[in-house]
Amino acid sequence: MVTHTPSGRTAMLVQSNDLPSAVSGVASDDKFVLVAMSGGKLQGLTTKQARSCIEQGASYICAWGSDCEDLEETFDYAAFLPELGGELPFTLMTTAHRNQPLEEALDFAFRCAQPPDDLPFPLSRVVLVADSDELLNQCTKWIASENS
């Protein structure tokens, strides 16, 4: 874990093609910003799996990469489909950053992704899940440059 000094948020970086498994491996009692980054190898996500990620603390979703619109939409549906459980006690925020450089999406996640008014918890952690080591290396370099 590393701290992004300008925002004060901690970052957890995970390389995985399986988003639900990655989230379950880092979940704790706190709510967090989830940044899902795909270079095209992230496995398809079902609404049930997305709901599981939300229940494990993912409370603001930022999707970046080739399938980011699909990821965002899956999380949007997971937030309200009745067959997945009751209504969420907060507004799930989701964003897709398809045509932005990765650095802009990271900047948004660390500096701009704030909890909605109905989420009484801070979002002091950002979980970065990427489907390649290359993407994680870019994230590590960006955080290091922000901290210098």
Each domain of the chain, given as residue ranges in start order, spans 2-147
pLDDT band at 86 (very low <50, low <70, confident <90, very high): confident
pLDDT tens digit sequence for 42-53: 667 899 999 999
Range 2-147: architecture per CATH: Alpha-Beta Complex (3.90)
pLDDT band at 112 (very low <50, low <70, confident <90, very high): very high
Residues in the chain, overall count: 148
The HSE-up count of residue 62 (CA atoms within 13 Å, CB side) is: 25
- Closest among 11, 132, 3 to 62, alpha carbons compared: 11
Work out the percent of the chain whose per-residue pLDDT is above 70.
97
For residue 38, give the H/E element and its range.
Answer: strand 32-38
pLDDT band at 91 (very low <50, low <70, confident <90, very high): very high
